[in-house]
Amino acid sequence: MTRKLRYSERRTIAERGSLGPLADEPSPELRNALEHLVVQAASGNPLFERNLHDTCVKHFGWPSQMTARKAVRDKELDSFLDFVEIFSEEAARRHLYSDGSGSSPMPKAPEIVNALFDRHRFGYRLHEGQIVKVGSPALGELVIGPALLASQRPGWEEVERSFREAIDHQRGGADENDDALTSANAAVEAALKAAGFKGANLGPLTKDFKKSADIPAELKGVPEALDALIGRSGALRSSHGDAHGKAAGAASVPQALVDLAIHWAGAFIVYLGDASGPSD
């Protein structure tokens, strides 16, 4: 479900190009919104409330005075995320009395929770009933971090700026995937220029890269392949909507494609940084 952006968010995107980075800890505002969601789901549905509490007691070993509303305030991130998973699952399923009557208090609970996470810039999402962090920690350690480090050198300022924008957009949800690809493209272009290759855009830069006698033959097709990947993804952007917003119900550029493009771009930036020699 695509969340509708409000005035302040539309203005932020227009001025900054992104809603900003995601947080790894839930904000007080997110906790407030989730507490309201818990109360809303439990309202008029005592069976759901009882089953939710029972599931949590079994999972956490809650004492008798513990409640779902208090669980939203848990300072331990893992416990907080466990509770959100349990709540979303219980709220979405039907709770039946012995006579067969009953209902689901909030059938779209996972979608609603994801919308709240997105709104409050929390770096996790519910996917097929499980909470996952947006972006891979392993790739962050092995690719993203080194790519940012490689770009922090004189003359590489545009590389760092564009690659950071790509990462922010990547973690910003499906609505920002096309912008993530645009920034990844800009980062690769800037890195090739910073490494001394000539060309106004990725096409000519790729040709100059392939001409270099210092580049191993096995790597000469990398920027061309990146150009093809990002270019084809850009074609998806054109078919899904324009830069001013997608049509209602339009699909987003697939997350897996965005992740691949950004991580591959990051690895290539690391290579270019190493090949360019030590920073001054």
State the pLDDT confidence band at 17, using cuts at 50, 70 and 90.
low
Give me the residue spans of the domains in the chain. Answer: 23-133, 137-275
pLDDT of residue 18: 66
Instruction: List all residues 6 or more positions away from 53 whose beta carbon is below 8 Å from its beta carbon.
Output: 62, 67, 68
Quote the pLDDT of residue 261.
85
Q: Is the pLDDT of residue 245 over 60?
A: no
pLDDT band at 223 (very low <50, low <70, confident <90, very high): confident
pLDDT confidence of residue 108: 94
Distance CA 192, CA 277 (A): 14
Across the chain, what does the average pLDDT equal? 83
Separation between Cα atoms, residue 182 and residue 202, nearest integer Å: 12
Tens-digit pLDDT profile for residues 94-143: 998 878 888 899 999 999 999 999 899 898 888 888 898 876 554 555 55
* Closest C-alpha among 57, 65, 114 to residue 85: 114
Spatial separation of the C-alpha atoms in residues 20 and 118, rounded to whole Å: 11
Task: Measure CA of the first residue to CA of the last residue in the chain; give whole Å.
Answer: 48
Least confident of 31-45, 126-140, 216-230, 256-270: 126-140
pTM here is 0.57
Nearest partner of 25 among 113, 110, 121, judged by Cα: 121
What pLDDT is attached to residue 134?
A: 76
DSSP codes joined into one string, 237-278: HHHHEETTEEPTTPPPPPHHHHHHHHHHHHHHHHHHHHHT--
Could you say which architecture CATH assigns to the domain 137-275? Answer: Up-down Bundle (1.20)
For the chain, where are the alpha helices, taking DSSP H only? Answer: 7-16, 28-42, 46-60, 68-71, 77-92, 109-119, 137-139, 145-151, 157-170, 177-194, 202-211, 222-240, 255-275
According to the per-residue pLDDT averaged within each range, which of 148-162, 222-236, 257-271 is highest?
Answer: 257-271
Looking at the DSSP bridge assignments, the partners of residue 102 are 96
Task: Report the interhelical angle of 157-170 vs 255-275 (nearest 10°).
Answer: 160
pLDDT at position 149 over 60: yes
Give the pLDDT score at 227: 79
Residues 165-204, buried b or exposed e (16+ Cβ, 10 A)? bbbbbbbbbbbbbbbbbbbbbbbbbbbbbbbebeeeebee
Position 248 confidence tier, pLDDT thresholds 50, 70, 90: very low
Q: Is the pLDDT of residue 201 over 50?
A: yes
Which of 118, 41, 136, 120 has its CA nearest to residue 86? Answer: 41
DSSP state of 96: E
3 state SS of 122: strand
Confirm if 187 and 270 have CB atoms less than 8 A apart. Answer: no
